[in-house]
């Protein structure tokens, strides 16, 4: 049930990349309006994650999970029936809000109901769903557009969520433990204090300011002036959380969590990894469609072996993470770097006429395998020592780090690729983008290796 909802929300992210041209034709959307189809979702998703996770910790994760799925389903209907670009963008904003509401509840419930090796296996199953949904989304989107037509096919990429959402709600009502609604504290005032509304607003504004310059490029150079404001707001939020705790209240995020090495290191690794690898699939889609003139379906199919391997390695690593620890993460990062190197070599061979782009099925498989080896075990280890009463908010912090990393990576790496594209062609542009990604992954690898060595030294002592 949790996996069905997560699959639905993540496919909603990945499927949109290949149907943007269809949306533009169907609604006559401008480039700016089209940008907000992506931006609206990304902003609201990232902004509400931590607050939604804390709300689940306090009020009960079950009802908020169901509310998130219901809201996502209804906004999918609104998106699929949107008569104009403004209506579609409002639906996408609500969709992002719903996704941000349901995702930390799923992570919190895994923390709550699973222990030890079973938790690793549960995260392995979650990682399999993440890997498959991210890669299968473009395939589903391309297939739907091909079957339903360029002008209206995009509508069905939204409406396809409806039966999935209904099934998830029915299963949640049937399977979630009772009582669903479990507010903590003796009364409503205690609940409001524990929700820490001031902290929620400060962190939400900080994340918004940090994300906005990267996801809304139409702001131009002036948009970067928002970034220092985000850093200031983040510092103000940290000050408030300490003050709130010292006043005898439960803060939204107990900053003592960041003294837990596994949590801090894992959050850093997640942010750096997502900063790099997420852009790979965007560059591949652009290269295959714009650079080689292939269809959206072909662009999606190239990532299929990567999706299958990601599902397998996520399940495999989830079963072994309690024994092998973050060593699996190191192996996964190495696999991604190898895949990037092979992909760069292949792009050059394709440009020279010595190879077919379909060999990318193999080179991207290394990156797909890395997804399961990095995301699943890193999440298991990162949240392993988090107290249960902060499971939701800690999961929200981890996912917020991933969202900020994703936004920064997409902004930086695609900017590098397009800057090179202006003066050359797609082969050099993709090479520059993949090279930048590899550099980020090398930094991630250093962090992971140092953590493994610290852990080994601790065990020896």
pLDDT along the chain (461 residues), means of 10: 81 77 84 78 86 86 91 95 94 93 86 81 80 76 81 87 90 79 55 78 90 76 85 94 88 87 93 90 85 82 86 88 90 97 96 94 94 90 84 85 85 87 89 96 96 71 49
Contact between 64 and 115 (Cβ < 8 Å) = no
Going by C-alpha positions, the residue among 149, 161, 195 that lies closest to residue 53 is 195
User: Rounded distance, CA 65 to CA 52, Å?
Assistant: 10
Other beta carbons within 10 Å of 410 = 21
What is the per-residue pLDDT for 153?
A: 84
Q: What is the pLDDT of residue 186?
A: 46
Q: What are phi and psi of 144, to 5 degrees?
A: -65, -45
A 10 A CB-CB count for 197 gives 11
Answer yes or no: are the C-beta atoms of 309 and 368 closer than 8 Å: yes
- Gap between the Cα atoms of 196 and 412, Å rounded: 34
Q: What is the pLDDT of residue 252?
A: 84
Could you give the CA distance from residue 344 to residue 433 in angstroms, rounded to a whole number? Answer: 10
| Distance of alpha carbon 169 from alpha carbon 4, whole angstroms | 10
Q: Are 11 and 60 in contact (CB under 8 A)?
A: no
pLDDT at 8: 84
In angstroms, the CA 375 to CA 358 distance is 26
Longest Cα–Cα distance in the chain: 72
| HEC readout, the chain | CHHHHHHHHHHHHHCHHHHHHHHHHHHCCCHHHHHHHHHHHHHHHHHHHHHHHHHHHHHCHHHHHHHHHHHHHHHHHHHHCCCCHHHHHHHHHHHHHHHHHHHHHHHHHHHHHCCHHHHHHHHHHHHHHHHHHHHHHHHHHHHHHHHHCCCCHHHHHHHCHHHHHHHHHHHHHHHCCCCCCCCCCCCHHHHHHHHCHHHHHHHHHHHHHHHHHHHCHHHHHHHHHHHHHHHHHHHHHHHHHHHHHHCCCCCCCCHHHHHCHHHHHHHHHHHHHHHHHHHHHHHHHHHHHHHCCCCHHHHHHCCHHHHHHHHHHHHHHHHHHHHHCCHHHHHHHHHHHHHHHHHHHHHHHHHCCCCCHHHHHHHHHHHHHHHHHHHHHHHHHHHCCCCHHHHHHHHHHHHHHHHHHHHHHHHHHHHHHHHHHHHCCHHHHHHHHHHHHHHHHHHHHHHHHHHHHHHHHHHHC
Q: Which residue ranges form the domains of the chain, and what is each CATH number?
A: 1-191 (1.20.1250.20), 197-249 (no CATH), 254-460 (1.20.1250.20)
Closest by CA to 57, choosing from 382, 378, 394, is 394
Exposure string for 278-299, b = 16+ CB within 10 A, e = fewer: bbbbbbbbbbbbebeebebbbb
**What pLDDT, on the 0 to 100 scale, is given for residue 445?**
96
């Amino acid at each position: 049930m949790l996996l069905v909802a997560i699959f639905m929300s993540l496919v909603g992210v990945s499927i949109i990349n290949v149907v943007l041209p269809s949306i533009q034709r169907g609604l006559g959307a401008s480039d700016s309006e089209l940008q907000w189809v992506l931006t609206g979702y990304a902003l609201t998703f990232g902004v509400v994650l931590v607050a939604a996770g804390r709300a689940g910790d306090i009020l009960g994760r079950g009802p908020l999970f169901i509310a998130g799925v219901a809201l996502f389903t209804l906004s999918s209907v609104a998106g699929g029936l949107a008569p104009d670009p403004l209506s579609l963008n409002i639906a996408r904003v609500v969709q992002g809000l719903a996704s941000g509401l349901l995702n930390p509840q799923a992570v919190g419930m895994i923390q709550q109901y699973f222990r030890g090796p079973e938790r690793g296996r549960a995260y392995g199953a979650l990682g399999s769903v993440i890997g498959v949904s991210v890669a299968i989304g473009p395939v589903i989107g391309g297939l739907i557009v091909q079957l339903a037509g360029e002008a209206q096919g995009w509508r069905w990429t939204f409406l396809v969520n409806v039966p999935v959402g209904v099934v998830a709600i029915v299963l949640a009502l049937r399977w979630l433990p009772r009582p669903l609604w479990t507010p903590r504290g003796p009364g409503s005032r205690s609940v409001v204090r524990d929700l820490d509304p001031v902290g929620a607003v400060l962190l939400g504004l900080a994340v918004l300011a940090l994300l906005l310059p990267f996801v809304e490029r139409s702001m131009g150079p002036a948009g970067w002036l928002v970034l220092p404001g985000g850093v200031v707001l983040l510092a103000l939020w940290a000050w408030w959380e300490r003050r709130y705790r010292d006043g005898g209240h439960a803060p939204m995020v107990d900053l003592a969590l960041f003294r837990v090495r596994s949590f801090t290191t894992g959050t850093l690794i997640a942010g750096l990894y997502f900063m790099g690898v997420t852009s790979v699939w965007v560059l591949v889609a652009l290269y295959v469609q714009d650079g080689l003139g292939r269809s959206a379906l072909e662009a999606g199919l190239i990532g299929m072996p990567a999706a299958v391997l990601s599902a397998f390695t996520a399940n495999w690593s989830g079963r072994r993470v309690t024994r092998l620890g973050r060593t699996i993460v190191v192996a996964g990062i190495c696999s991604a770097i190898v895949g990037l190197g092979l992909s760069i070599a292949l792009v050059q061979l394709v440009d020279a006429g010595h190879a077919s782009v379909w060999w990318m099925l193999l080179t991207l498989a290394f990156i797909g395998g890395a997804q399961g080896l990095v995301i699943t075990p890193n999440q298991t280890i990162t949240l392993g020592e988090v107290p249960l009463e902060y499971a939701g908010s800690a999961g929200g912090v981890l996912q917020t780090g991933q969202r900020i990393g994703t936004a920064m990576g997409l902004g930086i790496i695609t900017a590098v690729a397009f800057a090179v594209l202006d003066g050359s062609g797609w082969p050099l542009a993709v090479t520059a983008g993949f090279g930048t990604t590899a550099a980020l992954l090398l930094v991630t690898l250093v962090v992971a290796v140092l953590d493994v060595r610290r852990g080994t030294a601790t065990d020896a002592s």
